[in-house]
A = this chain, B = another copy of it.
């Protein structure tokens, strides 16, 4: 579809563009200049033009961007015109929090089931027809249902083994919340959410700020 290799930095910005444009749409904004978009996004106007040129532009000189069109085109680039089924491995607080995020569903990410080893959790209805299943049923579930993404919210020590099982059973995309990096080969796409990393960035900024004031 897109011949050019898109840089990781551009791809990292696309969800933000999509989110901002979605906010504008909700406020019934019809068009936006690249200058206004750049002020909201804290990215230079020329950066925005460059980013969007990767995908063929979308802007019109003197008019700016049509919010609805740009939102929908970026959505297509991000693959959001499709639906993705998600299962969650680990039904503790974090797993259940993810299952309850209605925002994901609105964007086409549908949580279909959670899995856990804790017998006191199994059978619990998390929301609608989303239930916590026993971990032993995971392999069978993956093989008999369409599963696009598996979220891993188990402790660090268990994550690598579970991840390699998931891959063996056919999972191609992993959303990893365990505080360890998973090395699963090139056919599997992994997105790590390292919550402690973002805390460390806060402490870095707090302590350098303090040093500047000292």
- Taking the closest CB of chain B, its distance from the CB of A130, in whole angstroms, is 13
- Taking the closest CB of chain B, its distance from the CB of A98, in whole angstroms, is 7
Contact A204 to B97, CB < 8 A, known contacts A15-B196, A104-B196, A198-B193: no
Among the 9-residue stretches A78-86, A115-123, A137-145, the one with 4 or more Cβ atoms under 8 Å from chain B is A78-86
The reply to whether A202 and B19 form a contact with Cβ atoms under 8 Å apart is: no
Copies in the complex: 2
The verdict on A205 contacting chain B, using a C-beta distance below 8 Å, is yes
The reply to whether A202 and B180 form a contact with Cβ atoms under 8 Å apart is: no
The verdict on A12 contacting chain B, using a C-beta distance below 8 Å, is yes
The verdict on A103 contacting chain B, using a C-beta distance below 8 Å, is yes
**Within the assembled complex, what's the spacing in Å between the Cα atoms of A146 and B187?**
48
Among the 9-residue stretches A44-52, A162-170, A171-179, the one with 4 or more Cβ atoms under 8 Å from chain B is A171-179
Give chain B residues whose Cβ lies under 8 Å from the Cβ of A195. Answer: 98, 101, 104, 193
The tally of residues in A whose CB lies under 8 Å from a CB in B reads 59
The verdict on A33 contacting chain B, using a C-beta distance below 8 Å, is no
**Within the assembled complex, what's the spacing in Å between the Cα atoms of A193 and B197?**
11
The reply to whether B84 and A197 form a contact with Cβ atoms under 8 Å apart is: no
The verdict on A14 contacting chain B, using a C-beta distance below 8 Å, is yes
Name A11's contact: one of B96, B107, B173, B201 (CB within 8 Å).
Answer: B201
Given known contacts A23-B180, A78-B203, what 7 new A-B pairs fall within 8 Å (CB)?
Answer: A14-B204, A15-B197, A78-B200, A79-B206, A82-B203, A104-B199, A193-B193
List 3 A-B pairs, minimum CB-CB distance, nearest first.
Answer: A79-B207, A93-B97, A15-B197
